[in-house]
Amino acid sequence: MTLKELELTAAKGRLLGLEMVYRAASGHIGGSLSAMDILTELYFEVMKVDPAQPGDPGRDRFVMSKGHCTPGLYPVLALRGYFPVEELELFRSIKGHMSGHPDMVHVKGVDMSTGSLGQGLACAGGMALAGKLDGRDYRVYALMGDGEIEEGEIWEAAMAAAKYKLDNLCGIVDVNGLQIDGATADVMPSEPLDAKFAAFGWHVIKADGHNFESLRAAFAEAETVKGRPSVIIARTVKGKGVSFMENEAGWHGKAPNAEQYEAAHAELAAAVEKLEVE
Amino acid sequence: MEKIATRGAYGEELVKLAEEYPELVVLDADLAGATMTKGFAKAYPGRFFDMGIAEADMMGFAAGLAACGKKPFANSFAMFTAGRAWEQVRNSIAYPHLNVKCVGSHGGLSVGEDGATHQCVEDLALMSAIPGMLVLNPCDGPEMRKAVRALLEYDGPAYMRLGRMAVESVTDEVAGYEFALGKAAMLRDGTDVTLAATGLMVQRAMAAAEILAAKGVSARVLDVHTIKPLDTEAILAAAKDTGCIVTSEEHSVMGGLGSAVAAFLSETCPVPVVRHGVNDEFGRSGKALEVLEAYGLTAEVMAEKALKAMELKKG
């Protein structure tokens, strides 16, 4: 894909994510918007996957450790072709199986059920370890939040991944700087993330989480690293793409009202239109 | 008669079955010498993973391994497998119905000297509360060996408790004994009362049946190695045939075998159910047998409970 095509795909994903949250009148829009470009880069460029064969044992795998960001993940899976876009209409609805957090049993393309924060990196580590045992060359990606990594299990998994030299594991931290109660720096300072991961034996790469060239280079670098896992510290903006949601902790897990939805929809639709013209 | 801790039989069986089940992998949390996975670690170092003192992470890794087709057995003490890592077991393993066997050694009071922090009398309750979880508590070495194979054949999340203390084998002395997941084994038939026991209380139930026989009471003994799903057929038959039941477990009387039996029978065939177990208390340090005695987990107390159940039956 060209950079423009990636940007357009992500813009469509943002719009779908907003529609999902508005329709469901609940869901996590802020972190979904911050993660959208990372997810798009992964599913449309980096990962070797075939939506027609979601259970292929040789496929690359993705674990949404910050599991609440289904309005980011599900649109990308739909756009990639795992299931029809119309299925997103039953997001968080009792009438369907588009659960609020990723469900590997019912949602095609989801490689691991997540949602309880801090658990995804260990699961991804187990997948990477299985790949090593079986001599397969697939890679495993795990997307974490910078609030989420306050959970101790992340650091347990970080130690273990280094111990087992899981160079087929690539973590990404979506550093949007905000969590439910406010700025991560105030709630529980997690920085310096680069120094922390490096101290745990990981190869650290820094990237702009909203720049596809930067993301592409980061994932390419991660693939070249041998003997240890890599982590991409991706700087992002929570609520990216909707002016009044950007950098506002309040939009972590809140659905917009009708007026806010119209305004947000107009901004995101305009972005899609602009990219389509280009 | 063989006398071996169920953890010992477990460790031996893992090694024996490793070739037959190439997808079997074993994880431990710095307790391989105690959970008895050390034999497997030595024989199959490439399939053994010591995850350090990080049980939550161990369960996550096990989930990931299972999602890629492995058959992981994740080991720690019952306290940490079922307690510390409860939420990882629930959300990363059981919710997606992944094929991980969560094994908790040193269950119950018979841990002995280490005391209350390590004497888990809540593991069966914690694990039974999780939807779709298979919960096992084999009573002796021979039964444990059969359980390990059955778990390897079973595709889904499971918890199994192992004991620290050496226990005499009873199941191999019983003619017609067969092991099947979810099926209680009748080790002795009787007509006046049923002793439904699990884990090391099964041996005590056999001794209690002897005590009762000397008083002219005919007791049935059920070895309920599978706590969940409960063998409702065997429990219902016992209720109908003997009219009263004593449940016995090295576990809290809340949330384990006693609760399951009482709940089931209250809805199907309300007969007196007297629960024998730990009465909402923490354990304490002491030699294993002394601790069991201090908490009344003996054949003698079980026999008294049986007489009480029979009194209740008279109304």
H helical segments located in chain A: 3-24, 30-41, 70-80, 120-134, 152-163, 184-187, 193-199, 212-224, 258-277
Task: Tell me which chain A residues have a C-beta less than 8 angstroms from the C-beta of B69.
Answer: 57, 130, 134
Report the pLDDT averaged over residues A104-122: 98
**Any idea what the CATH number is for the domain that residue B117 is in?**
3.40.50.970
B1: confidence class by pLDDT, cuts 50, 70, 90: low
Task: Classify residue B189: in a domain, yes or no.
Answer: yes
Residue A141 is given by DSSP the state E
A26: confidence class by pLDDT, cuts 50, 70, 90: very high
**Any idea what the CATH number is for the domain that residue B217 is in?**
3.40.50.920
Task: Classify residue B153: in a domain, yes or no.
Answer: yes
* Residues B137, A265: Cα–Cα separation, whole Å: 56
A140: confidence class by pLDDT, cuts 50, 70, 90: very high
**Any idea what the CATH number is for the domain that residue A53 is in?**
3.40.50.970
Q: Based on the fold, state whether residues B16 and B159 are members of the same structural domain.
A: yes
Task: Tell me which chain A residues have a C-beta less than 8 angstroms from the C-beta of B88.
Answer: 119, 122, 153
Report the pLDDT averaged over residues A44-54: 98
- Contact indicator for A161, A125 with CB cutoff of 8 Å: yes
Close Cβ partners of B201 (under 8 Å, ≥ 6 residues apart): B139, B248, B249, B250, B276, B297, B302
Report the pLDDT averaged over residues B280-298: 98
Report the pLDDT averaged over residues A29-45: 98
Q: Based on the fold, state whether residues B39 and B81 are members of the same structural domain.
A: yes
Q: Based on the fold, state whether residues B123 and B187 are members of the same structural domain.
A: no
**Residue where a domain terminates, one of B168, B195, B220:** B168
Number of domain units in chain A: 1
pLDDT at A153: 98
Nearest in space to A39 (alpha carbons), one of A59, A2, A57, A12: A12
**Report field, pTM of the whole predicted structure over 0.80:** yes
Q: What are phi and psi of B167, to 5 degrees?
A: -130, 150
pLDDT at B248: 98
Which range marks the domain in which residue A204 is found?
3-277
Q: Based on the fold, state whether residues B14 and B154 are members of the same structural domain.
A: yes
Task: Classify residue B174: in a domain, yes or no.
Answer: no
Whether residue B296 has pLDDT greater than 70 = yes
Q: What are phi and psi of B280, to 5 degrees?
A: 55, 45
- Residues within 8 A of A (CB atoms), B 252-281 only: none
pLDDT at A278: 85
Task: Classify residue B175: in a domain, yes or no.
Answer: no
pLDDT at B4: 96
Whether residue B2 has pLDDT greater than 90 = no
Q: Based on the fold, state whether residues B118 and B191 are members of the same structural domain.
A: no
Task: Classify residue B173: in a domain, yes or no.
Answer: no
| Interface residue B63 vs chain A (CB under 8 A) | yes
Put the strands of the sheet holding B193-197 in their side by side order: B185-188, B219-223, B193-197, B245-252, B273-278
Assigned token pair, B213: 């026989």
At residue B161's C-alpha, the angle toward residues B143 and B93, to 5°, is 115
Report the pLDDT averaged over residues B41-67: 98
Chain centroid to CA B108: 9
DSSP B130-153: STT-EEE---SHHHHHHHHHHHHH
CB-based contact B68 A130, cutoff 8 Å? yes
Which range marks the domain in which residue B229 is found?
182-314
Write the ipTM: 0.97
**Residue where a domain terminates, one of B113, B145, B168:** B168
pLDDT digits (tens, 9 = 90+) for B58-75: 999 999 999 999 999 999
Q: Based on the fold, state whether residues B23 and B160 are members of the same structural domain.
A: yes
Q: Based on the fold, state whether residues B260 and B222 are members of the same structural domain.
A: yes
Q: Based on the fold, state whether residues B192 and B270 are members of the same structural domain.
A: yes
B74 three-state secondary structure: strand
- Residues within 8 A of A (CB atoms), B 188-217 only: none
Chain centroid to CA A73: 6
- Contact indicator for B25, B71 with CB cutoff of 8 Å: yes
**Residue where a domain terminates, one of B168, B194, B216:** B168
pLDDT digits (tens, 9 = 90+) for B222-248: 999 999 999 999 999 999 999 999 999
pLDDT digits (tens, 9 = 90+) for A205-253: 999 999 999 999 999 999 999 999 999 999 999 999 999 999 999 999 9
